[in-house]
Amino acid sequence: MAGGSGAEAGLNIPGSIVQFDNVGLRYGTGAETLSDLSFSLREGGFYFLTGPSGAGKTSLLRLLYLAQRPSRGLIRLFGEDIVTMPRKRLPGFRRRIGVVFQDFRLVPHLSAYDNVALPLRVAGVEEHDLETPVKEMLAWVGLGHRASARPATLSGGEQQRVAIARAVIARPELLVADEPTGNVDPEMAKRLLHLFDSLNKLGTTIVVATHDLHLISSIGRAEMLRLDRGELLDPTGALRHPPRRAEP
């Protein structure tokens, strides 16, 4: 349910995991990068975020994974207003979100194994419970034989796969991915999308920013969010908020 302004201020839409109400974002004193975004994403949905370069896709993702606060408007995540939320509570919210960055952001001094294990360790999982899921995840992305390798010794595609494995290992409630298949071959892209699809069927809400039309067409049930010049295009109204109720 996204796109189109007019959501009632403070409206909490049942079943939504993400809600934007008239959100704007500007960096410094320049023009707004994102303008008047009003949409909601239902819990357990699968969404592709598309649009030309410079449309604001990465900025929108930064709002979703709490790396940026909006300049105006309301954002609800997991039913709570994160714009006014005290900063000390944000780390707990971030642990519920898996992120695949376009530039990977692996920890350079850690091995592939330890990078993937990091979210589980942060969540307090005991060391003896880490080995099986981490090795299985590395094997799934085709890197079981590179578990001890550090990021500098991995190719771009291998680093991308480690980043994806790290993002999904803890089964996040929300997964946000910025061009997650941009550095892998078509066969691996298909395999990684199957991983996202499986995670989605287990209940994780997925948001994938991509230019890959083949990728988009491969998930028939997925919905589209289209950005252009910082505004959300919604020709179908499929993701639009309910209209504002008239004042009595």
In the predicted structure, residue 178 carries a pLDDT above the cut 60: yes
In the predicted structure, residue 239 carries a pLDDT above the cut 90: no
Containing 116, the helix (H) or strand (E) segment is helix 112-122
DSSP characters over 184-220:
S-HHHHHHHHHHHHHHHHTT-EEEEE---HHHHHT-T
Question: Tens of pLDDT along 187-232?
Answer: 888 888 888 999 999 999 999 998 877 778 888 888 999 999 999 9
pLDDT band at 6 (very low <50, low <70, confident <90, very high): very low
In the predicted structure, residue 22 carries a pLDDT above the cut 70: yes
Q: In whole numbers, what is the pLDDT of the chain averaged over residues?
A: 87
Angle at the Cα of 228 from the Cα atoms of 225 and 229, rounded to 5 degrees: 140
Closest to 193 in 3D by CA, of 177, 171, 173, 170: 177
- Looking at per-residue pLDDT, the higher value among 108 and 233 belongs to 108
Q: What is the pLDDT of residue 10?
A: 54
Domain coordinates in residue numbering, the chain: 106-170
Cβ neighbours for 41, distance < 8 A, ≥ 6 positions apart: 1, 2, 16, 17, 18, 19, 47, 205, 207, 239
Q: What is the pLDDT of residue 188?
A: 84
Closest to 45 in 3D by CA, of 70, 67, 13: 13
Q: What is the pLDDT of residue 102?
A: 87
Report the percent of the chain where pLDDT is more than 70: 89
In the predicted structure, residue 32 carries a pLDDT above the cut 60: yes
**Strand 223-228 relative to strand 46-50: parallel, antiparallel, unpaired?**
parallel
pLDDT band at 11 (very low <50, low <70, confident <90, very high): low
Q: Average pLDDT of 98-118?
A: 95
Rounded to an integer, what distance in angstroms lies between the CA atom of residue 52 and that of residue 15? 30
Q: What is the pLDDT of residue 107?
A: 97
In the predicted structure, residue 3 carries a pLDDT above the cut 80: no
Q: What is the pLDDT of residue 236?
A: 47
Q: Average pLDDT of 65-76?
A: 94
Q: What is the pLDDT of residue 181?
A: 85
Confidence (pTM): 0.86
Rounded to an integer, what distance in angstroms lies between the CA atom of residue 225 and that of residue 179? 14
pLDDT band at 5 (very low <50, low <70, confident <90, very high): very low
Rounded to an integer, what distance in angstroms lies between the CA atom of residue 171 and that of residue 152? 27
Q: What is the pLDDT of residue 92?
A: 86
Dmax (CA) of the chain: 66
Q: What is the pLDDT of residue 234?
A: 67
In the predicted structure, residue 44 carries a pLDDT above the cut 60: yes
Q: What is the pLDDT of residue 214?
A: 76
Q: What is the pLDDT of residue 152?
A: 97
